[in-house]
Amino acid sequence: MSEYLCLTLIASAGEAESAFKSRLTAFWTHLLRTRKDTYEAVFAESTHSGTTDGRVSRQYMVEVSAAQMVLAELSACGIASLPLDPDDTYSKYEASGSEWFQIPH
């Protein structure tokens, strides 16, 4: 059974939610086109945006085995994230609640 880490992505200071969503869409499209296997390790996206330290944020459930690759790609594209806690893992069932949207692959 796969285990997942919760990845929190954070908008730039003063960035509107719509602009952040556009950057995320561009990033995920890029990842799908250039690293399909890594993209397919992203299991779920939170159903709504949140706020972290006064900035718009969005959470994703990513397979443990692909988390560092996703972080590296995010960093290369200028998208900030909170540090991952490798000990805070989730099962597929925990990442399937009503607050998560499963990404079709």
Tokens coding 31: 């990842």
**Band of residue 104 on the pLDDT scale cut at 50, 70, 90:** confident
Residue 98 lies in a domain: no
- Residue 101, pLDDT > 80, answer no
Query: Tens digit of pLDDT for each residue in 19-72?
Result: 999 999 999 999 999 999 999 999 999 999 999 999 999 999 999 999 999 999
Domain containing 27 equals 4-83
Overall domain count for the chain:
1
Give the CATH number of the domain where residue 52 resides: 3.30.70.2750
SS (H, E, C) 16-84: CHHHHHHHHHHHHHHHHHHCHHHHCCEEEEECCCEEECCEEEEEEEEEHHHHHHHHHHHHHCCCEECCC
Residue 8 lies in a domain: yes
Residue 100 lies in a domain: no
Residue 32 lies in a domain: yes
